[in-house]
Amino acid sequence: MTIENWQKDYQSDIQIGSDTNSSLAKQIGLVGENRSVLEFGCATGYFSRMLSEKGCHIVGVEINSDAAKQAQKYCDEIIVADLDFTPLSEILPQRTFDVAIFGDVLEHLRDPWQVLESVRNHLNPGGFIVASIPNIAHGAVRLSLLQGNFNYQQYGILDNTHIRFFTKSSIIEMFDKAGYFLDAIDRTKVPVLADRDDLLPSFDKNMVSPELIKQIELDEESDTVQFIVRAYPQSDRDRYAALLNRFTELKTKNNELVETLDKTITEKRLITNSSWWRLRRIFSR
């Protein structure tokens, strides 16, 4: 599909207001203020506008030329390009930025791993990536599949222009393979049994047993619609530091579990001893 005939019906004016479950709000929180930003998939510029209000300077990259024209008023520069066929080194020769943003973009690419790897050459020291990525393992998708359906939609997890699908583990693996470590993972959430949400596929709730719903909801990501992540390029030293931090977290959690277990055993022992003495008093009368 070429740039000339690629079309997507973009929304042109999105407001987040006080919505704390908004992917855009969470991304802005991770980006910060007064940054030089490379925004991939800037669409009509609705997110670029929000970033510019935070003092950011944005270079937008967009495949849809019509949408790019609308985004021009919010970006310092717009580049119309297809990341599947145009190397970043060609459209951004020797240019670097504080932040690269992939807002619901990576799932549209044939080779997101290669694009992420290329972006490392365009980040300033201390620079990072912010990305939002749909979660294919949402409970609604699982239930829809169990009913034999995988119906694409105009927007949402099963957007009809998605060609890649990710879960939390495969997102972590993708960034690791491309040479990054994730220092932040956030989420937007919608309940599995939400009455109606355009981001989720529909399924027949009357055909789903309460036991199955409970089983699916045991997965803590069953209500996650999107993962919002921040990723830093990693050197060997960074990888060691990330692993050390993870080891420290797991060790702390393990110590807490051991402490809880010891406390539980002690409490049960005291209860058992108390019961034994009560029984002894009864039978010694």
Indicate the fold that domain 23-234 takes in CATH: Rossmann fold (3.40.50)
How distant, in Å, are the alpha carbons of 112, 215, 267, 268, 281 from that of 274? 63, 38, 10, 10, 11
Q: What pLDDT digit, counting tens, does each position of 248-281 carry?
A: 878 888 888 888 888 888 777 776 666 666 766 6
Residue with tokens 């799932």, as numbered in its chain = 107
Per-residue confidence at 215, pLDDT binned at 50, 70, 90?
very high
Q: What pLDDT digit, counting tens, does each position of 13-40 carry?
A: 566 555 778 999 999 999 999 999 999 9
**Phi/psi at 69 (5° precision):** -60, -40
> Mean pLDDT score of the chain, rounded to an integer?
89
Q: What pLDDT digit, counting tens, does each position of 120-146 carry?
A: 999 999 999 999 999 999 999 999 999
pTM over 0.95: no
